[in-house]
């Protein structure tokens, strides 16, 4: 069933207060989400290569347990490595052939670490524990049933929206800027574990940024605060390009306090707080559009690592945002779109129990003027769902 209705609330930009968060590349939660998703993509590729289909797997139960380090001005050492626990279910054997699931999982995790974290040694600073096991008979059977479109493996709901608000754009783009190759080349003393929290009150935007400086680059407390001030100025320059706010303030490493030595500065050996301070878990990080926006409706599913052809917790999460974007861009007179998708376990994923667009219209527009076009967009997207699922399987759409 497809329902297109008028959204009764205010536009996000009309809210007096808006709060938006993004966890960056080296944040332990982001690491878990991104690594588990990379493993799902790698397994999907292996299944396709060997069997021509994607077999049952859900790599969406991951935990990164923090390690221990000893650090000081000028460097330090790892005392206890971090530990990455990789779960939940996968297909290890099909048609009489074995799939090296554990090897693929560990190799993929190490490749991700090498590609994203400059100072983490993928072999020595991380231990890997693979606790994947074969799936249940009924859920595995979904992949053996006839039909081009798989049945949903869960009764689950997802929500997406478009467009991003100015606050959401700033939060997202500031983290991407701070973790960009260009910025790291210019400021190699900054770590990858970045968290940006944005709070808009009226037309005042306040940003709070946490980002460690690296011990091997900092020789003293005074050097730390000197570099911190330079980096803060760079953030302010970057934020100067964004209009629409009467005033923008940025606060950087606000737990710092001069005169307290190591207890008053955010210093890191490896660039991630998982080295000794903070563990991570799948599902606690960004939603599939890269943000945690508290004023928006949020789904409860962790999309990262779920299989891309029957697990609606992934498919509908990403697809709801895609459909919202299509409706907004292809139909004139729309301010905001919210798309809700609901599956029923056992029903083909191209036939949701409910597909709803809640549309906030420009003044003078009527819902009956746009409803048919919106319904056509839904129908077109569900007709092409197999193609979309294969794009998910190849990692075309980021999920964190």
Which tens digit of pLDDT belongs to each residue from 137-165?
555 656 666 667 888 889 999 999 999 99
Tokens standing for 168?
A: 């959401």
Of residues 315, 319, 291, 300, the one with CA closest to residue 44: 315
Q: Can you give the pLDDT at residue 148?
A: 78
Indicate whether 90 pLDDT > 70: yes
- Alpha helices, DSSP H, located in 285-366: 312-330
pLDDT band at 272 (very low <50, low <70, confident <90, very high): very high
Q: Is 184 exposed, middle or buried (0-12, 13-18, 19+ CB in 10 A)?
A: middle
Q: Which of 42-51, 139-148, 294-303, 366-375 has the lowest average pLDDT?
A: 139-148
Q: Could you tell me which residues come within 8 angstroms of residue 287 by beta carbon, excluding any fewer than 6 positions away?
A: 293, 298, 299, 303, 317, 400
pLDDT band at 134 (very low <50, low <70, confident <90, very high): confident
Looking at residue 152, what is its pLDDT? 87
Strand partners, 393: none
Other Cβ atoms less than 10 A from the Cβ of 387: the count is 9
At 88, list the tokens.
Answer: 């939940």
Tokens of 194: 């970045």
What percentage of the chain carries pLDDT values higher than 90? 90
Which pLDDT value is given to residue 150?
85
pLDDT in tens, 216-256: 999 999 999 999 999 999 999 999 999 889 999 999 999 99
The pLDDT assigned to 261 comes to 87
Domain boundaries in the chain? Answer: 12-24+166-281
Q: How far apart are the first and last CA of the chain?
A: 29
Residues counted in the chain: 400
With both helix axes pointing from N to C terminus, report the angle between 312-330 and 385-393 in degrees, rounded to the nearest 10. Answer: 120
69 strand-pairing partners: 78
What average pLDDT does this structure show over 17-45? Answer: 98
Specify the CATH architecture of the domain 12-24+166-281: 2-Layer Sandwich (3.30)
Please state the φ and ψ torsions of residue 61, each to the nearest 5 degrees: -120, 90
74 C-beta neighbours (distance < 10 Å), count: 12
Give the distance, in angstroms, between the CA of residue 375 and the centroid of all CA atoms in the same chain: 28
Q: What are phi and psi of 131, to 5 degrees?
A: -115, 30
User: Is residue 60 within 8 Å of residue 306, measured between CB atoms?
Assistant: yes
Q: Would you call 241 exposed, middle or buried from its count of C-beta atoms within 10 A (0-12, 13-18, 19+)?
A: exposed
- Alpha-carbon Rg for the chain, nearest whole angstrom, is 23
C-alpha dist (Å) from residue 218 to 68, 224, 227, 248, 261: 20, 6, 9, 29, 12
Task: Determine the pLDDT at residue 151.
Answer: 85
Q: What is d(CA 119, CA 126) in angstroms, rounded to the nearest whole number?
A: 12
**Contact call for residues 310 and 343 (beta carbons, < 8 A):** no
> Taking all residues of the chain, what is their mean pLDDT, rounded to a whole number?
95
- What is the CA angle 62-64-70, rounded to 5? 175
> Is the preceding peptide bond at 143 cis, omega within 30 degrees of 0?
no
Supply the pLDDT for residue 143.
66
pLDDT at 141: 59
Give the C-alpha separation, 356 to 10, whole Å.
Answer: 18
Q: Which two tokens stand for residue 104?
A: 């693929």
So what's the pLDDT on residue 307? 94
pLDDT digits (tens, 9 = 90+) for 174-219: 999 999 999 999 999 999 999 999 999 999 999 999 999 999 999 9
Strands annotated E in 153-304: 157-162, 195-201, 204-210, 213-214, 247-252, 267-268, 280-281, 292-293
């Amino acid at each position: 069933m497809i329902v297109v209705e008028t959204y009764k609330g205010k536009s996000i930009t009309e809210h007096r207060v808006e709060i938006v968060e993004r966890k960056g590349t080296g944040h332990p939660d982001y690491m878990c989400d991104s690594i588990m998703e990379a493993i799902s993509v790698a397994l999907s590729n292996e299944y396709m290569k060997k069997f021509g289909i994607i077999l049952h797997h859900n790599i969406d139960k991951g935990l990164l347990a923090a390690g221990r380090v000893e650090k000081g001005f000028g460097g330090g050492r790892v005392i206890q490595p971090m530990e990455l626990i990789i779960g939940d279910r996968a297909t290890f054997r099909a048609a009489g052939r074995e799939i090296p699931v554990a090897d693929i999982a560990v190799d993929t995790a190490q490749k991700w670490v090498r590609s994203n974290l400059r100072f983490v040694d993928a072999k020595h600073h991380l231990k890997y524990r693979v606790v994947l096991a074969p799936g249940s008979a009924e859920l595995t059977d979904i992949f053996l049933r006839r039909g081009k479109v798989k049945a949903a493996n869960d009764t689950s709901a997802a929500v997406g929206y478009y467009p991003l608000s100015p606050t959401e754009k700033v939060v997202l783009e500031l983290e991407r800027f701070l973790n960009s190759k260009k910025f790291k080349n210019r400021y190699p003393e900054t770590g990858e574990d970045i968290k940006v929290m944005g709070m808009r009150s009226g037309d005042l935007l306040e940003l709070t940024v946490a980002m460690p400086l690296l011990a091997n680059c900092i020789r003293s407390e005074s050097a730390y605060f000197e570099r911190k001030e330079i980096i803060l100025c760079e953030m302010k320059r970057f934020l100067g390009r964004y209009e629409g706010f009467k005033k923008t303030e940025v606060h950087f490493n606000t737990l710092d306090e001069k005169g307290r030595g190591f207890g008053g500065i955010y210093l890191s050996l490896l660039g991630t707080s998982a080295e000794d301070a903070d563990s991570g878990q799948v599902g606690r990080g960004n939603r599939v559009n890269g943000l945690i926006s508290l004023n928006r409706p949020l789904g409860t599913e962790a999309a990262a690592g779920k299989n891309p052809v029957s697990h609606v917790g992934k498919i509908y999460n990403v697809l709801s945002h895609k459909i919202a974007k299509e409706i907004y861009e292809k139909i004139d007179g729309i301010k905001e779109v919210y798309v809700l998708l609901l599956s029923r376990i056992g029903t083909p994923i191209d036939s949701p129990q409910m597909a709803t667009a809640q549309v906030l219209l420009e003044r003078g527009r009527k819902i009956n003027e746009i409803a048919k076009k919106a319904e056509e967009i839904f129908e077109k997207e569900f007709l092409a769902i197999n193609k979309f699922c294969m794009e998910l399987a190849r990692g075309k759409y980021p999920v964190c």
